Structure 1
Amino acid sequence: MDFTERTPLEQGFAPVFRDHVAPALEKIETERLRRLATARKWLFICIGAGVALGAVLSFLIQGEARFIFALVAVGLGVIVGLTIRSAQANAWSGAVEQAVMPAICDHVGELQFSSTPTRDFPVSQMRALGMLGSYDRANLTDELRGTYRDTSYHMVEARLTKKTRDSDNKTKTRTVFDGLLFHIAVPVEAPGRILVARDYGAIGNTLSGLFSGDRGRGMPRVELEHERFERAFEVHADRPDEARAFMPPPFLDSLLAIGEDEGGRKGTKSMVAGFEGSAFYLALARGGSFMKMGGLTTSVTEMEEDLHAIFADIALVRRIIDRLHGEEVGAPA
């Protein structure tokens, strides 16, 4: 197995990969094959059991209902089999993480990774600031915590959901947010609370602020002399005049660049941000996987592209910090 360095962050990693990562991956390849065989075996067993149970039910039950019960039995077999397969895939991803991430974190420096984040990510503070809307369940995964340019950062992948009831009083789960959340330290404390929200137009903004209380869009609007920024965002703050001074035009250019270059295909429409005290909060609603490491059906010899993707995910937060420091950086490759 080889690793070809492509980006500045990867420079010097090829020998680390050759001497440490590749041997570790080769050692666990037999585990992947074993888990894949187990997953396939139980999937076939569960589907077979579902089909058998469906056949019995269709024989014992009279009328058209027997076909419904038979389909339900087969469906349950498929669900159980896929659940077992998912468990094997997750266990394999954990093994790959242990083989890969310590070496990558050591190479990058001042970086920690965990697929199961600690409970101290300030998602509740982001919600209180009006960035995330209302949700009742937060699933946080793939945590990066580190320091870059003497700036500490903490980021996670997040899926926030809320249970609702439809007109038939049936419970449904609605996804409120799916993407990346960032908590980045700022050297100068913000003057109070500041929300950088999406601009939905006059009517949409008014409706969004109706139930905000004294936070989020319920705070006074901050008028900014930056036409392009104002077309994309609407800023609210509890101390508007000080917030305006805190966000000069060059800084607004940097915030725009974050949304345009890091927000995926939605650009600035994927971005909401906020300031409170020494914290900069950022939410990027973007699709795609984050910190994905290997697959149960993929040999470890075919993992190079996944490793490049991991470095790209790490570089994302560094580009954001560079922009917060006022630097112009290129869009992601």
Structure 2
Amino acid sequence: MDPKALNIPAEDKHSFAEYFQQHIAPKWQRYEAKRIPIAAKYQQRRKISQPVSYIAMFTGLIGFAGIFYALAITNGDGFMLVGGLLLFVVAMIVAAAVNFWAGSEAFKFRDGVIKVIHPLILRYFGESFMLNPKNLPELKKYEQYGVLPKYDRGYFQDSVKGEYKGVAFLVRELNLSVANGTEDNKTKYKTIFDGIIIEFDTFKKFKGETQVRLDKGTLGNKYQAFKHDLSQVKLEDVNFERQFEVYSSDQVEARYLLTPATMARFLSLSSFYGSQLEACFKDGKLFMKIATKHNYFNSKLDVLKPLDFSHDIEQLFRELYQIFALIDELKLDDKTGL
């Protein structure tokens, strides 16, 4: 791959090409040499695992048909039911085992490459940039900002921390869900939030708490104000008021934070993200919750082909520049207001 041909910002092309040649290319070449025999072994094993998988799946369907026949036609014939169940289970185990045997080495190699190369790509932006750093806060810590919906289950995926223009940030992929009935004695869950949360350390000195939430109608807005023991803030921007509701423990500070320029920036960002943006200013930090279907920090590396990190590099640049744009748009590096 040619780093100079990457679709990244023009100001980064030359410097990143030099960085790539110095820090990434040597590892890339070593990994490519290791990849060739691993890929060849996988292809050879697939010649065995693929037909075995097809046979196993066909056998599993026969077993499933036996279960259905026993329950629906023979009123629960024990021999047919047990035989069909055993056939189905054994077939699925064989299919899973043979695919694991064929691909485990290749999958392990791919994961190892990503764990080394992605942090190196991030390090181009500065020593503070880290992928999935240790000792990150638990989900419960973010409940203090008051913009997470009520949930029964939540989990993080990838996380990236870094610093831009002196503003430290942590961005994390988050999924939240609520219990939604049961099936086969197991709780079913419904996703209520899928996106990212971002915590910025700002230079702003504010003592109170100010929430910027999506407008939920008259009753919903009153409930939000009551729940968080905050008072509703009326602002002069009609377009902003149409989309957002603001609650704060300090009316004066809320207006200091949400200047006309800042409200315009929030509207612009909300439009960019499809109106699914909420935020909270608290304890010198800005917390943002953004619903998005985009899978952040996801790799498309294919170890069956010559190693090419172009997609991963270009995606990381796009994703980080979105975060940088938030800092620029909201002027979080400015020590005097927003």
Q: Quick check: 1:121 aligned with 2:137? A: yes
The structure with the largest alpha-carbon Rg is 2
Q: Quick check: 1:63 aligned with 2:74? A: no
User: In 2, Cα distance between the equivalents of 1:160 and 1:146?
Assistant: 24
Counterpart in 2 of 1:202?
A: 218
- Relative to 1, partners in 2 of residues 1:56 and 1:281: Cα closer, same or farther, differing over 3 Å? closer
Counterpart in 2 of 1:143?
A: 159
Contact 2:212 2:245 in 1 (8 A): yes
Deviates more, 1:151-160 or 1:238-247: 238-247
Q: Quick check: 1:103 aligned with 2:120? A: yes
Contact 2:167 2:332 in 1 (8 A): no
State the TM-score, normalizing by the size of structure 1: 0.78
Contact 1:163 1:172 in 2 (8 A): yes
Contact 1:47 1:78 in 2 (8 A): no
Contact 2:59 2:87 in 1 (8 A): no
Contact 1:28 1:95 in 2 (8 A): no
- Relative to 1, partners in 2 of residues 1:190 and 1:21: Cα closer, same or farther, differing over 3 Å? same
Contact 2:129 2:163 in 1 (8 A): no
Counterpart in 2 of 1:152?
A: 168
Deviates more, 1:18-27 or 1:281-290: 18-27
Aligned AA for 2:271?
E
Aligned AA for 1:101?
H
Question: Which whole-Å deviations, capped at 9, do the CAs of 1:183-212 have from their partners, x for residues lacking one?
Answer: 101112333111111113324435x63xx7
Contact 2:207 2:284 in 1 (8 A): no
SS of 1:108's equivalent in the other structure is coil
Contact 1:197 1:233 in 2 (8 A): yes
User: In 1, Cα distance between the equivalents of 2:138 and 2:67?
Assistant: 55
Q: Quick check: 1:287 aligned with 2:290? A: no
Counterpart in 2 of 1:225?
A: 236
User: In 1, Cα distance between the equivalents of 2:297 and 2:98?
Assistant: 23
User: In 1, Cα distance between the equivalents of 2:192 and 2:67?
Assistant: 45
**Residue 255 of structure 1, aligned match among 262, 266, 270:** 266
Structure 1 residue ranges without an equivalent (≥5): 328-333
- Relative to 1, partners in 2 of residues 1:278 and 1:123: Cα closer, same or farther, differing over 3 Å? farther
SS of 1:256's equivalent in the other structure is helix
Counterpart in 2 of 1:330?
A: none
Structure 2 residue ranges without an equivalent (≥5): 73-79, 334-338
Aligned AA for 1:27?
R
Aligned AA for 2:247?
H
Contact 2:23 2:120 in 1 (8 A): yes
Q: Quick check: 1:163 aligned with 2:184? A: no
State the TM-score, normalizing by the size of structure 2: 0.77
Counterpart in 1 of 2:325?
A: 319
User: In 1, Cα distance between the equivalents of 2:86 and 2:92?
Assistant: 10
